[in-house]
Amino acid sequence: MSAAPILITGGAQRLGRHCAERLCDDGHPVIISYRRERPALDALRERGVITLPADFSSEAGIRDFITRLRDTTDALRAIVHNASDWLPDTLGEEAGANFEQLFRVHMLAPYLINLEAHDLLEACGEPLRDIVHMTDYVAAHGSRKHLAYAASKAGLENLTLSFAARYAPTIQVNAIAPAMIMLGEDDDEAYAEKARAKSALGTIPGPGVVYESLRYLLDSRYMTGVTLPLDGGRHLR
């Protein structure tokens, strides 16, 4: 029996792509979701990564993805909920729509996918099955500029606890809560300096540290309902 694939949502770029590539390196079959087609996806496809389009900005879009996922595989080794929009807060007419957008991508999509793909995880022939939620340092600490984003990530962190209790003992459910891992393409050196100063370790580590945390969770057989803080000691500042 061939190994069951690992699903990473939002795997077309940055942290999700890095983890998809590293999982391939480690011999796992990988499925990613992506929202926007782009040439960079072809390199993943050439490595045998299955790429499924998904737009989690509506319940219909989430359910369309779930249908595509179920048409693609009859088992899953793990699900990594990585897809995310780092939207700042907006005022006025758009504030509610902004909040709902973040709720859907960070909470509704993981919630519905976890519920509807439970049998795919149970069908995995390997002893370990995992769900990993990518949350954020600000879920536990708040954010003055990303209030809705932080709240939606806090909701995802709470879903970690509930799904861990519901899916034990056959499926482990954990989260990774990063602080600054990698800069955005528009971030300048001044921003980078400020970001480095926020953590005790004073670095912007890059995506490798996220894969180390994911690997740890996937290889652990005695870890569930936990959020791994990956913040370089930001909580000490």
- Report the interface residues with ligand LV4SOB2L, using CB under 6 A: 84-86, 136, 179-180, 184, 195
Q: What's the rounded Cα separation, in Å, for the pair 34 and 235?
A: 32
Q: What's the rounded Cα separation, in Å, for the pair 135 and 175?
A: 6
State phi, psi for 50 to the nearest 5 degrees. Answer: -85, 125
Is 149 catalytic? The answer is: yes
- Kindly state the smallest distance separating residue 230's Cβ from ligand LV4SOB2L, in Å: 10
Report yes or no: 37 and 12 within 8 Å, Cβ to Cβ.
no
Instruction: Pick what 31 binds: ligand LV4SOB2L, ligand NDP, none; C-beta below 5 to 8 Å, kind-dependent.
Output: none
Q: What's the rounded Cα separation, in Å, for the pair 20 and 23?
A: 5
Closest CA to 11 of 52, 39, 48: 52
Residue with the two structure tokens 């990585």: 82
Which range in 50-58, 117-125, 185-193, 219-227 contacts ligand NDP by CB under 6 A?
Answer: 50-58
Whichever of 152 and 174 has its CB closer to ligand LV4SOB2L, that residue is 152
Instruction: Pick what 55 binds: ligand LV4SOB2L, ligand NDP, none; C-beta below 5 to 8 Å, kind-dependent.
Output: ligand NDP
- Kindly state the smallest distance separating residue 29's Cβ from ligand LV4SOB2L, in Å: 25
Just list the catalytic residues: 149
